[in-house]
Amino acid sequence: MSSNDIIDRTRGPRIDLVTGLGEGDDVLVVGLIAPDSAAGDAEPTLLITDDLLDDAAATALTAALRAVSATGERGRVVTVPAPAGLPVRLVAAVGLGTAADSESPENVRQAAGAVIRALDGAGTVVSTLGAADLRAAAEGGYLGAYRFDAFRSDRSRSAEQPPARISLLVSEESEEAAADLAHALIVADAVALARDFVNTPPSHLYPGEFADRARRVASAAGLDVEVLDEQALADGGYGGIVGVGQGSSRPPRLVRLTYAPSNAAKTVALVGKGITFDTGGISIKPAAGMDHMTSDMGGAAAVIATVVAAARLGLDVAVTATVPMAENMPSGTAQRPGDVLTQYGGTTVEVLNTDAEGRLILADAIVRACEDRPDYLIDTATLTGAQMVALGTRTPGVLGTDEFRDRVAALSREVGENGWAMPMPAELRADLNSRVADLANVTNHRWGGMLSAAMFLREFVADGIGWAHLDVAGPAFNTGGPWGYTGKGGTGVPVRTLIAVLEDVAEAG
């Protein structure tokens, strides 16, 4: 299997707009709004486009859904045979919650994903969910259909194949609707690209290969690409990246991807942690769950996918992604607890714990990114287990300069990725003092680990730059069961947050 077989495959279904049902359609998806007892509603309400069903078909469908106890509960999917007169085999009803719930784009997105996940084996699907929110329905459907089967010996098992085509019903195929669909597909495809990177196992995605794949997708999008190999990193003084990568037989890389439209008023730097596998190094991790460390490059995957999306969307903002890539392994050449390294830019760091390696490679990349004097800098990383302790597995922690941090967190919640602003208490800074160097890479206690990691990174952010740090240790990789538009494995978080910030910066000028 070549790398092209993996990276160049189609990531999603065909999604288009239609104004009515066709003879070749297999399943009709309808939204179901739960009854509002306060308003005197006794039964759920169908969310359908005008003139889709005549009175007889609507009555028959309502009776069939009542018979299987469909309630409109958010995310619950039920299927029934299509009533006479509809040119489809099945009708799948997905709950949107109350009428107020159905107005939330994220609820629509989750419902669209849930129903598509439930329709494996269906050929073509026509959905009414676009009537609630076209962009959300398209994104959710695309991501609900996402599968990573590159390493399965038989990809043709029909029972596991998502629908090949999803058509969204609209009253008319307007330019506005077409633009909304195009935007949604670019965003969803960027999320899927990040998922592809994260889901590719470390046997096939090591720093050199990751850099090559980033180069290919970036070049295809018309971006400028620069890749520093291990010799260039050593010569350039990138002590953090070199130090983390020196224990592996697979040497590190630093990738720079630049999108520079001529009319950009603002510049945003993106930095993403690209540890292609993390054993912890000499401070080795427990064996249980170590396989999840295939996801430790989730931040890098997100920023690569985001800058490609920025180019595809034609955003009026300049974006440069600086992506350090390394594999953290124990060996005779690995760095040791107690070693001192010199970061890019000259700051010395005592490495007290080699499993706190992400901040070391990010520090180099942040200093390099700040040399370009961007208006804003966002770094993202699967950085600390403390993020999950504090916020769980679905809520990214957002830290940084107060105003920009809050702006990023608010946009993250708007797009359904649920970022939450966190503080950096001043008293934690002294705990990063080293006995022998400028900084230690960890504190000597376990309290506030997500916060102190961000405080370490803040030491490398240049003054005057709006900065946000997104810790996505839990949200970037789903170790549990599928839900909504999210399957097991890579989630693509925080791609949609990053795109939303870039669009907001472009709009604000």
CA distances from 467 to 307, 374, 406, 434 (A): 17, 10, 11, 25
CA distance 438 to 459: 10
CA 469 to chain centre: 15
Strands 348-351, 27-33: pairing kind: unpaired
Secondary structure (3-state) at 236: helix
Pairing of strands 124-127, 27-33: parallel
Q: How many residues in total does the chain contain?
A: 509
3-state secondary structure (DSSP) of residue 292: helix
The catalytically annotated residue of 117, 256, 359, 368 is 359
Is 117:144 a contact under the CB 8 Å cutoff? yes
- Annotated catalytic residue 89: no
Respond yes or no: is residue 373 known to be catalytic.
no
Distance in angstroms (rounded) separating the CA atoms of residues 315 and 241: 31
Question: What three-state secondary structure class fits 260?
Answer: coil
Contacts of 4 (CB under 8 A, 6+ apart): none
Set 14, 89, 165, 285: catalytic member: 285
Bridge partners of residue 322, in order along the sequence? 256, 271
Tokens of 86: 């509809």
CA dist 87 → 77, 90, 416 (Å): 21, 9, 35
User: CA torsion sign, 37 to 41 to 47 to 50?
Assistant: negative
Cβ neighbors of 154 (< 8 A, separation 6 or more) are none
- Measuring CA to CA, which residue among 438, 269, 301 is closest to residue 368? 269
| CA distances from residue 183 to 88, 164, 235, 331 in whole angstroms, order as listed | 29, 20, 42, 46
Q: Whole-angstrom Cα distance, residue 492 to residue 198? A: 8
d(CA 146, CA 185): 13
Burial class of 10 by CB neighbour count within 10 A (0 to 12, 13 to 18, 19+): exposed
- How many angstroms separate the CA atoms of 488 and 318, rounded? 33
Q: What are phi and psi of 294, to 5 degrees?
A: -60, -20
**Which two tokens mark 22?**
């066709």
Residues with a catalytic annotation lie at: 285, 359
